[in-house]
């Protein structure tokens, strides 16, 4: 094993885990004394251990064979579903998120704001959970946020629609995202709240672009016996033209989908190419309505639906955006904003608290 580890070259990225791997730590007297050097070395050895993917798979399979239904925060559910375990936030975290939204509301009083906190699969597909799994309170914490927000901030509650259509493959089995079908039902609910007429399923043709998608929960859990997912696109029957600008990258496209991403591990990035700081989408719609979407990756499969109802859409991911959102709103004369996160990411992502910075 020592020889194998010494002879195996380091890797920068793990395709199976879909993340960057720890690299060799740089030594300094300060890092040694603070303990960070030892910690970094430990992470490096764990990440670069020879045959890591094989050992992870063997560990998960061994645990599954003896009846264990959880690995690295992921439940092994019924019918091949992998479900992310919810980590409850602290009260301070919850208050900090609400405070950030209220502070942003105060500096943008003319902006109509809509908040969509999407429940993850473990709160909707409860029949897929292992029998021993207890309710971690995802819906309860979501309700606390809803109740804490000011009345002028509109809540878009998609939970009833997702529950009503839970037999329609609204979540992936191996990934933490909702599917395009789930995003479609959320689009319908958003139309009711925002006052636009959403397109119906009859306006689209379905295209399955892959049957071999292994998502984030597959990568995280180590469960390797599960079957892959399919990814479906809702393509308009009536031809549409788009101008998609990736602002920081200074790149333009005429498509909402980057099909070359289907050749990579994270095939969900077919939607808008993945996550970017700022994307501007110009559409054929001439009604003049402009929308700002502040989001996590759940929005990526929903935004294409919105191109039928808005002339311009500005998609901001705070994890990668370093611009001034208030200035963007003023310069582009935006009057509607959608804050869209899944509940888990909403509490975990500290970048939400930079809204007013």
Answer yes or no: do 44 and 136 share one domain.
Answer: no
Supply the pLDDT for residue 20: 63
Answer yes or no: do 73 and 96 share one domain.
Answer: no
The neighbour count for residue 29, using CB atoms within 10 Å, is 8
Answer yes or no: do 120 and 35 share one domain.
Answer: no
Structure tokens at 54: 């094989």
- State how many domains the chain has: 2
Instruction: Please give the Cα distance from 124 to 283 (Å, whole number).
Output: 33
Domain C-terminal end among 30, 57, 80: 80
Answer yes or no: do 212 and 245 share one domain.
Answer: yes
Domain C-terminal end among 60, 80, 100: 80
Alpha-carbon distances, residue 340 vs 176, 213, 279 (angstroms): 15, 24, 15
Structure tokens at 294: 């502040």
Going by their DSSP bridges, the two strands 112-118 and 13-14 should be labelled as: unpaired
Answer yes or no: do 233 and 270 share one domain.
Answer: yes
What percent of the chain stands above pLDDT 90? 74
Supply the pLDDT for residue 18: 52
Supply the pLDDT for residue 107: 96
Global confidence as pTM: 0.86
Supply the pLDDT for residue 17: 52
**Per-residue pLDDT for the chain (357 aa), expressed as one digit of tens each?**
888 777 778 877 665 555 566 777 777 777 777 777 788 778 777 777 776 666 666 776 666 666 667 888 899 999 999 999 999 999 999 999 999 999 999 999 999 999 999 999 999 999 999 988 888 899 999 999 999 999 999 999 999 999 999 999 999 999 999 999 999 999 999 999 999 999 999 999 999 999 999 999 998 888 888 999 999 999 999 989 999 999 999 999 999 999 999 999 899 999 999 999 999 999 999 889 999 999 999 999 999 999 999 999 999 999 999 999 999 999 999 999 999 999 999 999 999 999 987
DSSP bridge pairs for 82: 76
Answer yes or no: do 148 and 223 share one domain.
Answer: yes
Buried b (16+ CB within 10 A) or exposed e, 108-119: beebbbbbbbbb
State pLDDT tens for residues 244-282. Answer: 999 999 999 999 999 999 999 899 999 999 999 999 999
Supply the pLDDT for residue 50: 75
Answer yes or no: do 306 and 169 share one domain.
Answer: yes
Burial (Cβ within 10 Å: 0-12, 13-18, ≥19) of residue 137: middle
Answer yes or no: do 297 and 205 share one domain.
Answer: yes
Instruction: Please give the Cα distance from 291 to 304 (Å, whole number).
Output: 13
Answer yes or no: do 215 and 311 share one domain.
Answer: yes
Instruction: Please give the Cα distance from 241 to 255 (Å, whole number).
Output: 8
Instruction: Please give the Cα distance from 88 to 137 (Å, whole number).
Output: 7
Answer yes or no: do 99 and 29 share one domain.
Answer: no
**Which among 215, 217, 183 has a CA at the least distance from the CA of 198?**
183
Domain that holds residue 70: 2-80
Answer yes or no: do 295 and 161 share one domain.
Answer: yes
Supply the pLDDT for residue 15: 57
Going by their DSSP bridges, the two strands 70-71 and 19-20 should be labelled as: unpaired
Question: From edge to edge, which strands make up the β-sheet containing 154-155?
Answer: 154-155, 112-118, 336-342, 290-295, 312-316, 278-282, 243-246, 251-253
Domain C-terminal end among 29, 58, 80: 80
Answer yes or no: do 121 and 258 share one domain.
Answer: yes
């Amino acid at each position: 094993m020592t020889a194998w580890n010494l002879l195996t070259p380091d890797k920068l990225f793990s395709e199976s885990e879909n993340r960057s791997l720890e690299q060799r730590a740089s030594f300094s007297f300060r890092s040694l004394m603070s303990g960070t050097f030892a910690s970094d070395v430990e992470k490096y050895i764990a990440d670069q251990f020879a045959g890591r993917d094989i050992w992870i798979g063997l560990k998960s399979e061994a645990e599954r064979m003896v009846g264990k239904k959880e690995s690295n925060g992921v439940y092994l559910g019924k019918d091949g579903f992998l479900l992310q375990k919810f980590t409850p936030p602290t009260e301070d975290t919850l208050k900090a998120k609400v405070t950030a939204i209220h502070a942003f509301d105060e500096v943008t009083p003319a902006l109509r704001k809509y908040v969509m906190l999407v429940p993850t699969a473990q709160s909707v597909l409860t029949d897929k959970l292992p029998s021993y799994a207890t309710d971690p309170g995802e819906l309860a914490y979501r309700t606390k946020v809803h109740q804490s927000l000011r009345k002028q901030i509109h809540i878009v509650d998609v939970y009833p629609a997702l529950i009503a259509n839970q037999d329609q493959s609204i979540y992936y089995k191996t990934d933490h995202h909702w599917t395009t079908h789930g995003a479609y039902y959320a689009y319908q609910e958003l139309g009711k709240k925002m006052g636009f007429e959403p397109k119906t399923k009859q306006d689209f043709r379905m295209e399955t672009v892959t049957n071999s998608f292994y998502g984030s929960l597959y990568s995280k859990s180590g469960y390797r016996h599960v079957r892959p997912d399919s990814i479906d696109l809702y393509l308009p029957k009536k031809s549409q033209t788009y101008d998609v600008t990736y602002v920081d990258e200074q790149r333009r496209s005429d498509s909402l989908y980057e099909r070359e991403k289907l050749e990579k591990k994270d095939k969900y990035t077919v939607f808008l190419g993945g996550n970017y700081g700022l994307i501007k989408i110009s559409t054929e719609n001439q009604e003049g309505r402009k929308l700002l979407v502040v989001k996590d990756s759940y929005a990526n499969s929903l935004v294409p639906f919105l191109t039928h109802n808005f002339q311009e859409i500005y998609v901001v991911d705070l994890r990668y955006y370093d611009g001034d959102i208030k200035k963007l709103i003023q310069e582009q004369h935006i009057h509607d904003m959608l804050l869209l996160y899944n509940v888990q990411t909403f509490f975990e992502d500290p970048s939400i608290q930079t809204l007013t910075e």
